[in-house]
């Protein structure tokens, strides 16, 4: 192992000489203000986009509601007796003209409902379950459009609500139709929530708000009008949002706050209450506090990393954790990793010039890796090329028999163990008696999607080596530290160590208030 360690030092010395000097001055960005500024800007832009989109649709529906093709169709087909309508020689021509007009001019609307003054829906484009039913009777009477038309026959906009015939949330732009000054019925332009949802959630695909940012709409009943990026199930009109952001929005109309979101995760939140056609909505722009902190750390890693090392510790054992495990044990040797399921345990011995890494999903699975000092994890392609030049000149091949152990662990977890939205639940514990490789491992974990708060480093330079024991299911970890001179063992429990997010807040002066 000593020979390998010296090779590593030699390689690193070469790379350091070849790399230019870099500046690591103190970051001067105001992290909170810059984050809120970005969130507020995007929130305002999205609000204006939504309003502009709906206003355009309202104008289009209003024009269509007065168009001769649509109005003539209304009056010629307004009858409860379908056989009489079908017998009319103009019936087929009317249907064809309306369908052509719909496809050409009104395809943005999901459906068009033609309703007479009694509430009878005598025609629709899609002929769904509401076709030739009365909107004021049966299950349809429970719909929002029915309730509003009954209380205000001249209502023009019906806010989003679940509409059973379409099996999804829908809004309606209403055109009252008059005959000789009297209300003859309504032409209701049904609009799906999908486009509004797409306007808000495109920040996910573009990455404008990172891996945890989102912009969502909430109505007056606190129901989410867009799809959460964090839940695999449909949240539109199915999820009640009860957060400090919403409570403040109701009272203040507009503002910013760092608080827990609807998942119970601390976020930067920018919110605003606004109205469209008499309906109040709240638009919220958020990003996880952990991601903001992690991004700031990555952008200023050279400044923070050594200061972070000074805060690392061996930790302690409070008596509640495990010690050494012998039953149902899977042993992990150097340059290997293994996974375990509930009821099993993993262990690796002799972490010295190597580095130990435990990655777990609480209650589901655990991986334990014993990372070799010459593992590909620790070398960039540039480093490997530069070092290989020297080794080739000496007739030796650098890197023979090594592999990217960390990359292989990540690939297996990503492809077989979790869904993308579950990365937030992973935990990583790094165990080391040196800091040589810590920066690279941290970078690789962050590249995979870890946040600083998901990473804990247990470190002691006073010890010669460490043994790691972890039990899958209760996610307990015990580290036995050995100092050969004293010939004793010290056990510590990583659960008592601060994670890197907590350490970053200390060294950066960041506070929650």
Note whether residue 55 is domain-resident. no
| Domain CATH code at residue 500 | 3.30.1330.200
Classify residue 317 as exposed, middle or buried by CB count within 10 Å of its CB (0-12, 13-18, 19+).
middle
Range of the domain at 419: 300-508
Q: State how far the Cα of 218 lies from the Cα of 247, in Å rounded to an integer.
A: 12
Whether 19 is covered by a domain: the verdict is no
Q: Quick one: 334 and 376 in the same domain?
A: yes
Instruction: Say how far apart CA 501 and CA 508 lie, in whole Å.
Output: 11
Question: Which residue do the tokens 């799809």 mark?
Answer: 227
Distance separating alpha carbons of residues 466 and 321, to the nearest angstrom: 17
In a domain, 131, yes or no: yes
- Is the same domain home to 338 and 407? yes
Domain finish residue from 245, 264, 289: 289
513 residues of the chain, pLDDT tens digit each: 444 444 444 444 444 444 443 344 567 568 999 999 999 999 999 999 999 999 999 999 999 999 999 999 999 888 766 665 555 655 667 788 898 899 999 999 999 999 999 999 999 999 999 999 999 999 999 999 999 999 999 999 999 999 999 999 999 999 999 999 999 999 999 999 999 999 999 988 888 899 999 999 999 999 999 999 999 899 999 999 999 888 888 788 899 999 999 999 999 999 999 999 999 999 999 999 999 999 999 999 999 999 999 999 999 888 777 788 878 899 999 999 999 888 899 999 999 999 999 999 999 999 999 998 888 777 766 776 776 676 667 766 555 445 789 999 999 999 999 998 899 999 999 999 999 999 999 999 999 999 999 999 999 999 999 999 999 988 899 999 999 888 788 999 999 999 999 999 999 888 654
Verify that 438 and 341 share a domain, yes or no: yes
Distances (CA, A) of 352 to 12, 20, 32, 431: 18, 30, 40, 10
Asked if 232 and 376 sit in the same domain, the reply is no
Query: Does 45 reside within a domain?
Result: no
Strands 214-218 and 279-288: antiparallel
CB 211 within 8 A of CB 449: yes
Q: Which residues contact 154 (CB under 8 A, 6 or more apart)?
A: 176, 183
Q: How many domains does the chain have?
A: 3
Q: Nearest to residue 363, comparing CAs of 473, 477, 469?
A: 473
Whole-prediction pTM = 0.85
Same domain, 475 and 399: yes
In whole angstroms, how far apart are CA 2 and each of 107, 352, 372, 373?
Answer: 72, 10, 12, 11
Question: What does the alpha-carbon distance between residue 165 and residue 477 come to, in Å, rounded to a whole number?
Answer: 54
Q: To 10 degrees, what angle do helices 289-299 and 438-448 make?
A: 140
What is the β-pairing status of strands 168-179 and 157-163? antiparallel
Q: Which of 191, 222, 253 is the last residue of a domain?
A: 191
Question: Residue 271 sits in a domain of what CATH number?
Answer: 3.30.450.20
Give the integer Cα–Cα distance in Å for 246 and 252.
Answer: 10
Dihedral over Cα of 339, 341, 342, 345: its sign? negative
- Whether 423 and 451 have beta carbons less than 8 Å apart is answered as no
Q: Is residue 222 part of a domain?
A: yes
Whether 214 and 180 share a structural domain? no
Same domain as 500, residue 359: yes
Q: Is the dihedral of CA 301, 306, 309, 311 positive or negative?
A: negative
Residues 351, 422, single domain; the answer is yes
Q: Are 248 and 164 in the same domain?
A: no
Is 26 inside any structural domain? no
**Claim to verify: residue 158 and residue 202 sit in the same structural domain:** no
State how far the Cα of 513 lies from the Cα of 290, in Å rounded to an integer: 15
Q: Give the three-class secondary structure for 44.
A: helix
415 and 401 co-located in one domain:
yes
Residue showing tokens 């659960």: 495
Residue 21 is assigned to a structural domain of this protein: no
Residue 456 CA to residue 128 CA, distance in Å, equals 56
Looking at 258, 289, 320, the residue that finishes a domain is: 289
Inter-residue contact 373 to 4 (CB < 8 Å): yes
276 and 307 both lie in a single domain: no
Q: Confirm whether 36 is domain-assigned.
A: no
């Amino acid at each position: 192992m000593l020979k390998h360690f010296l090779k590593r030092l030699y390689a690193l010395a070469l790379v350091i000489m070849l790399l230019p000097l870099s500046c690591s001055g103190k970051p001067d960005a105001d992290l909170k203000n810059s984050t809120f500024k970005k969130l507020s800007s995007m929130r305002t832009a999205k609000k204006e986009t939504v309003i502009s989109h709906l206003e355009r649709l309202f104008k289009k529906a209003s024009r269509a509601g007065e168009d001769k093709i649509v109005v003539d169709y209304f009056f010629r087909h307004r009858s409860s007796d379908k056989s009489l309508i079908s017998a009319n020689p103009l019936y087929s021509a009317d249907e064809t003209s309306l369908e052509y007009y719909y496809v050409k001019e009104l395809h943005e609307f999901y459906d068009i409902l033609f309703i007479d003054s009694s509430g009878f829906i005598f025609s629709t484009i899609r002929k769904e379950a509401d076709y030739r039913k009365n909107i004021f009777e049966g299950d349809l009477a429970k719909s929002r459009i029915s309730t509003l038309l009954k209380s205000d026959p001249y209502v023009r906009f019906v806010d989003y609500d679940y509409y059973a015939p379409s099996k999804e949330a829908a809004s309606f732009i209403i055109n009252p139709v008059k005959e000789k000054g009297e209300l003859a019925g309504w032409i209701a332009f049904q609009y799906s929530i999908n486009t509004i949802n797409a306007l808000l959630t495109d920040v996910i695909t573009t990455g404008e708000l990172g891996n945890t940012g989102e912009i969502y709409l909430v109505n007056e009943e606190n129901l989410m009008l867009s799809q959460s990026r964090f839940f695999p199930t449909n949240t539109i009109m199915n999820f009640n949002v009860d957060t400090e952001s919403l409570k403040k929005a109701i009272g203040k109309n507009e503002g910013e706050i760092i608080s827990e979101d609807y998942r119970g995760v601390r976020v930067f939140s920018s919110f605003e209450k606004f109205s469209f056609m008499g309906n109040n909505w709240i638009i919220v722009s958020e990003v996880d506090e952990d991601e903001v902190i992690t991004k700031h750390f990555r952008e200023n890693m050279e400044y923070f990393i050594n200061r972070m090392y000074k805060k690392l510790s061996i930790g302690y054992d409070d008596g509640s954790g495990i010690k050494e495990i012998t039953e149902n044990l899977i042993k992990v040797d150097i340059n290997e990793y293994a996974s375990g399921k509930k009821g099993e345990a993993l262990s690796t011995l002799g972490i010295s010039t190597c580095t130990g890494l435990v990655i777990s999903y609480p209650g589901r699975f655990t991986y334990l890796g014993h990372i070799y000092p010459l593992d590909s994890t620790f070398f960039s392609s540039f480093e490997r090329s530069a070092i290989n030049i020297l080794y080739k000149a000496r007739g030796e091949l650098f890197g023979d028999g090594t592999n990217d152990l960390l990359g292989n662990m990540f690939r297996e977890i990503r492809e077989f163990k979790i869904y993308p939205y579950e990365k937030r639940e992973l935990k990583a514990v790094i165990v080391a008696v040196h800091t040589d490789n810590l920066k690279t491992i941290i970078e690789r974990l962050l590249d995979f999607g870890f946040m600083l708060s998901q990473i804990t480093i247990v470190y002691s330079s006073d010890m010669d080596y460490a043994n790691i024991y972890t039990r899958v299911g209760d996610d307990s970890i015990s580290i036995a530290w050995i100092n050969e001179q004293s010939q004793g063992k010290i056990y510590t429990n990583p659960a008592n160590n601060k994670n890197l997010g907590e350490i970053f807040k200390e060294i950066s002066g960041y506070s929650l208030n």
